Every structure is written in structure tokens, then in C-alpha cells.
Structure 1
Amino acid sequence: MSEFIGTNLRLIRLFHDLSLTDLGEQVGVSKQFLSRVETGAEVASAHLEAALAETLEVLPEFFYRIDPNPIVDEQCHFRRQLTTKVALRQVARARGEMLKRLVGVLDEHVELPQYQVCEADAESPETIERAAEMFRSLFGLGLGPLSNVTRIAENAGAVVLRVCGLAPEIDAVSFATKRPLIALNGDGRSACRERFGVAHELGHFSLHIGVLTGDRLTETQANRFASALLMPRSTFATECRLALRGTRLNWPGLSELKLRWGVSKAAIIFRGRQLGVFSDDQARAGYVGLNRHGEALKESEDHLIANEKPEVIAESLKVMKEHYGVPQSAVAREMRVQPRLLQDLLELPQVELTGNVVSLRSSTSTHFSETRMR
């Protein structure tokens, strides 16, 4: 007979961002007893098991499922990890684990795009620039602005989802699992910030396979990849000069570049300095100017750029339901959770679909992937 797995209880407790005390109060036991259940030192009674399942929105069998491939530290990439507390990272990882389980169910029923992010060398800025250039070349993206970074990531075989419940300190978190995942903070980041976050996580997938990230070096490397992917040096260095008027920054020019390339003014200043277009003094003046105008976190043009919508999960679920009679409740059952937990995880918009093919066509290139039922 299978045994109650305490780590599954801990996983789903953290998914709901509940402390041992919080959960204990809801199910009528002490935090000490719950802690012992999680470590396997105590056995949960049938009554407690039922109460835990109801409170945590899972099916009782959730506690008995062995995960053969749990997410480990080297697979987790947190943007802003340097300043993120351990407890907040644990909640984010729990959300990622449940997202991984959802994608595992979808992979059983739906043919998702093949993963195609190539491993690259992070030993120098030059090798990172080349890695970003190779990524663009592989997908035929050209050297201009990218119209939809999220769709490009999904065409490359990653799964992107905007996730609620992540701490404000976390812009994005990715998981280098069998099907790589990118979870964006769902609390209303600007489109530019989200686009850079997706590109940053693609950088981790390319540069840091099996590497523990979160230190200043790996974050700097992923940022370099993101900057190079979004603003390729061969074309952006020339265009970036629009942001100069004599020896001073041209703020209307910066705004024009932002709207054209879909990146923040802060990212443009950073990239311009990186490419030698702006001097240290000019870049410093740019950052001071952003702070002076209250644009350190939210820039004045942000509302003019629409947020991109992740498509793979939403469209796959829609195909499964409308064309193959597999409703979300059945997906939840395969995950061994209650439907309301799946809804909490997804927060999905409605996606219009016709026919039995989900198109993931990228408007920035001729490359496309299609999702079909097997």
C-alpha cells in the first residue's frame, strides 16, 4: 500500500502561501504536529487527510503521488533572486512545481512545440552576444524589433504563464525542467518589463544549464543575453544615436526608440552604454533623469505598449475541451487537484480558436509551431 508523502503536503501548503500555523488553525491541529506529518514522523489520520485535501484544494490521492523528477535548485532561475527572501522563493517554486505538473498532463495529450533553445557559452560578453545572435538566426528573426517575445519563447518550446501569488520582489521565475517553464509575475508588470523578463529567462536556459543561478554573475550574464536578443548590436547601435542630441540625451528620441523596440528607456540607456554609444556620464544622467521624473519603476509610455498574452496553455486546454471532449475538470483530476486550484493557477483569458489546429505562428518570422492532439 502506498504511503502518505509529507513533501507533497509541504508543496501544496507553500503553493497556497500558508505557514504551518495558518494551516494548522484551519484543520484543527498544531503546527508541531503538521511539521511532523510533513517530515514523515507522524501519520495523518483519515479525518485529517480529508480536511487537508479540502482546505488545500487537492484530491486525497495528491498526497500519495511520487514525483520522479522534482525541481532542484539548479533548475530554478529567479529574476531578482539576489534580494528575494528564501520563503518567497519557496512559494514561487511551489507554484512552478504545480505548473510543471499541469504541463506534464498537457504533454500527455497535446503535441507542444519542440524545445529548441541551444546551450551556449557564457564565458565572456562576446560569447553571450553571439549566443543571442544565434538564437535570432535559428528562428529567422532578423535584426529588427521583436513584435512578440512571449510567442517566440513558446515557439522555441518553452511554456510561458502569467502567475498570480508571486511576491512583488520576483519579476519572473523559470524552471529548466523537461518542458522549460517561464512564470511571469501576474501583478501588473509593464509590457517592457515582462518582455525583458522572458528574454532574461531564455538567457538562463541557453547559458546556465545545470548551473546554480541567482548570484550577480549569472544575473549579469542573463541580462546581457536579454539585451542582445532584444536590441542586437549590429542594428541597435546605429539607431541608438537617435537618443542623443549633441552631448546630451534626447528624451523624445528615447521615447521613440522605446515604442519601436518594446524595451524600457532604462534598458535602452543600459544597452547604449554597453555598446559604447553613451558615455558613463550620459548614462548616469539618464538614470538620474528617470528618477527625477518618477520613472524609475514605471515609465510614462508604458500604457502605450500592450502586454503580450501567453498562448500555449490556454490554446491547448481549449482544443482539448472543444474538439476532444477533455474539460479542465478532467485535467485537474489528472493533476490530482480540485478544479478551483487549477483555475487559481491559470487565470486564463479566453482564446478564440477555429479548426483542430492551434497556431503559434510568430509574426516576427516565418518559423511557426503548431499544437495538435496526438
Structure 2
Amino acid sequence: MVTPSRIRLARERRALTLARLSALTGISQQSLSNYENARTAPTGPTLGRIAEALGFPVGFFSADEVEEVASEAVAFRARTKTSMRKQKAVRSQAALAIEFNDWLTAHFALPAPNVPTYGRPSPEDCAETVRALWELGDTAAPNMVHLLEAQGIRVFSLDTEHHEVDAFGFWRDSVPYVFLNTAKSGERGRFDCAHELGHLVMHGDERPLSGPEAEREANRFASAFLMPRADVVGRMPAGAQVDQILKAKSIWRVSAMALTHRLHDLELLTDWQYRSTCRQLAEMGYRTAEPDGIARETSQLLPKVFSLLRGRGTTPGRVAEELSIPLSELNSLMFGLSFTSRPGRGGGPGRDRGRPALRVVPAPR
């Protein structure tokens, strides 16, 4: 029996219109619309043509009903600049990630979510409260992907085709999710993690998840979370010069521009000094990139999971088969990691100090 919602999800995952899918399959748009809306069901050969055109196994279309990720549940960083077709494509990828997480939860004991939600309007206070809850002290945050995973946030990567989507996050059934664009710099990736954490903590049923004010609040949260007030004030002089900023940004592993914004917020740079510094940094190439940047932070949980699976004789291909998805869809969620990589690598010398321990064990049978 065919599940209509899965035809729509697979089509939207490929960012195809009904007209385009009709051209690829030779099936009329009306028939395709009927299949997606459960008015009629495709025959076996017809379903095969649809599956081939969309690059999904035939079995995908007969699995259980899939619940789509609603547009209002997702905090797209630049919603107005992201086409509706692209938004649907990334939301479809998120729906597949939720199914993957359900599979993981059935097979492994993953960290339970430990993410508070506050209706308070002060991002600075929220950031300080979360840091205290997670016992981070007043020093630089550790590997952000590892930190979020250790606190029960399910972190996945976005397909490389979605380069215009920085990151997004949402709650589903009391489980927090964050999706990251891995094409960004290491510093930008850390800020994206903290930004999406801010949305999870501050925005939800009581307050809007998206919009200019929500984005500003999430940015302020991220800045305060990555660069604690006491640490920055204790280390940085008032009126810091560009060379001092470039040297100090490695302390918190943030971009030069992010540190400059934080210094201005903390009144360590005057308005004139802030504008002058931003102009100098832009001329040096730091507005759109980080010429001397850090390595991109990546998952700790997923390599551990697949290491345990290898010990059971279960390959990634087998996992994809059980989920009835192409292996490429599973790979797209994995931060570009090799399944043969050792768990926990990639932080660089001294980067793992103080990071939260992450324990993943097989679920009891």
C-alpha cells in the first residue's frame, strides 16, 4: 500500500515541481497530484517510475506515514531570501533526519535532552543561565557540536546543495534538533550552533521562533554564550586594536567580526572605534571569511554510533535499507564524515580539554 505523504516528501526533497516530475516520469500532473493527495493510488509499475525519478527505493513509499516539519516550526536564518522550494527541500531532509533519530533511539541509549526553555527577553541572562546549568564556568565554550550532542540535542548536517541556508533548529516531541551548513568556516559553525541553541532556549510557543527580533535575540545569545562577559572584560583592553582582536579571537574560537561586535556590546569599543575596526577587518577579508580560521567542528555522536554498529556487523548501507532511504541521504546528515573514522577525532590538539563526555550504548533489548 502506498503512503501518499511519502511521494510528496520525496518530491519536495528533490526540490521538484509536479510539472518537472511529470516531465521526468511521463505521468500527468493530475495523476501525480491525485497520488500525493490520496485520491488514487499508483500501480506498481507507475510507482517504480516515480521512485526511479526521485532516487528513492520503492519501499520508501510504502513505509508508515511521515509527519512533515511545519514551516512555522523552523527558524530559518534568512527566510525571505530562501525560496519556498528550497525551504521545503530542507524541511524534507529534516523529516528524514527525525526518522533516522527514531531509529537511533530504538537501537541506542542516546543522551537525554537537557535544554531549558525560558520566556525571558534577555539573551544575555539566558546565555549565562544555560552556561551555569551546563557547568561551563566563565571560560570559552568547548567544541559546540560535541556540547550540544552531550546535552541531548540531535545535530545533523545539511545537504551541500543547501549552501544558502546557514542553519536552523526546532523542537519535535520534546526533542531538540539543530541542522548545520558545513560549508561555513569553523568559527561561523560555532556561532551557528550557539545561535540555534538560543532559538531552542528562548523561542517557542510563547514567543515567535522567527522574524528580525528573534534573530537579533539569538545572535545576542550566541555572542554571550561563546564570549562570556566576565572572561572578555577580564582579558580585553578598552579600545582594542585590530591586531589585538585578531590575536584574541582564538581564545574563544570566534570570528574577528564576532569578537568586535561583542567588544562593542560590552562598551569596550566606542561607536567610532567599532565602525573603524569593522572597516579595517572588511578590507582584510574578514567580513565574509576567516583567512586564518579554525577547523570545522563536527559530530562526536555519529562516529561512535557507527563504530558500535560496525562491531555488530551492521553497515551504513544496511541502516539506509532499514530506513528505506538512499545511502546518499544518510551520508548527507553525517557532516561529511568517513564511516571508517575513529570517534572523537577532529578537534585538534588541546581542543578536547573540558568537553562534555558523551556516552552512547546499545539500547536494552
> Which residue, 216, 219, 229 being the options, matches 1:220?
216
Amino acid at match of 1:267: A
Name the CA shift for 1:82/1:216 in 2 (closer, same or farther; >3 Å): farther
Q: 1:276 to 1:133 in 2, by over 3 A?
A: same
For the residue of structure 2 that corresponds to 1:369, the secondary structure is coil
The 5 Å alignment of 1:86-235 reads: 86-123=84-121, 125=122, 128-178=123-173, 179-186=175-182, 188-210=183-205, 211-235=207-231
SS at structure 1 position matched to 2:138:
coil
Please tell me whether the aligned partners of residues 58 and 341 of structure 1 are also in contact (alpha carbons under 8 angstroms): no
Q: Paired residue for 1:277, among 265, 268, 293?
A: 268
Task: Verify the 8 A CA contact 1:92 1:173 in the aligned structure 2.
Answer: no
Q: Structure 1 residues 67 and 39, CA, compared in 2 at 3 Å: closer, same or farther?
A: closer
Kindly state the Cα deviation for residue 353 of structure 1 after the two structures are TM-superposed. Answer: 5.0
Amino acid at match of 1:319: L
| One-letter identity of the residue aligned with 1:132 | A
- TM-fit CA distance, 1:65: 3.2
Structure 2: where are the runs of 5+ without partners?
Answer: 345-350
2:33 alignment counterpart: 35
C-alpha distance in 2, partners of 1:176/1:100? 11
Determine the structure 2 residue equivalent to 1:289: 280
Match 2:290 to one of 291, 299, 305: 299
Structure 2 distance, partners of 1:37, 1:220, is 42
Q: Distance in 1 between matches of 2:48 and 2:67?
A: 26
Matched, 1:58 2:62: no
Letter matched to residue 8 of structure 1:
R
Which one of the candidate residues 56, 72, 85 is aligned to 2:70? 72
With over 3 angstroms needed to count, the CA separation of the structure-2 counterparts of 1:57 and 1:348, relative to structure 1, is farther
Q: What's the CA shift string for 1:319-352, capped at 9, x where partnerless?
A: 12x2223322332233122334433443432331
The residue aligned with 1:312 is: 301
- Does the 8 A contact of 2:264 with 2:274 survive in 1? yes
In the aligned structure 1, how far is the partner of 2:331 from the partner of 2:292?
32
Which stretch of the first structure deviates more once superposed, 264-273 or 156-165? 156-165
Task: Read off the aligned partner of 2:78 and give its amino acid letter.
Answer: R
The answer to whether the Cα contact below 8 Å between 2:242 and 2:281 also exists between their aligned partners in 1 is no
Aligned to 2:347: none
Task: Give the alignment partner of residue 259 of structure 1, picking from 238, 250, 255.
Answer: 250
Post-superposition offset of 1:314: 2.8
Per the alignment, residue 327 of structure 1 pairs with 315
Shift of 1:7: 2.3
- Cα contact 1:77–1:173 (8 A) shared by 2: yes
Q: Percent identity?
A: 26
Q: Distance in 2 between matches of 1:99 and 1:28?
A: 30
Contact 1:166 1:185 in 2 (8 A): no
Please state how far the C-alpha of 1:9 moved relative to its aligned partner: 1.1
The yes-or-no answer on 1:342 pairing with 2:330 is: yes
Cα distance, 1:92 vs. partner?
Answer: 1.1
**Is the deviation greater in 10-19 or in 195-204?**
10-19
Check the 8 A contact 2:157/2:332 in 1, yes or no: no
Report the 3-state secondary structure (helix = DSSP H, G, I; strand = E; otherwise coil) of the residue aligned with 2:215: helix
Is 2:303–2:342's contact at 8 Å kept on the other side of the alignment?
Answer: no
The CA deviation at 1:277 is: 1.4
- Aligned residue identity for 2:190: R
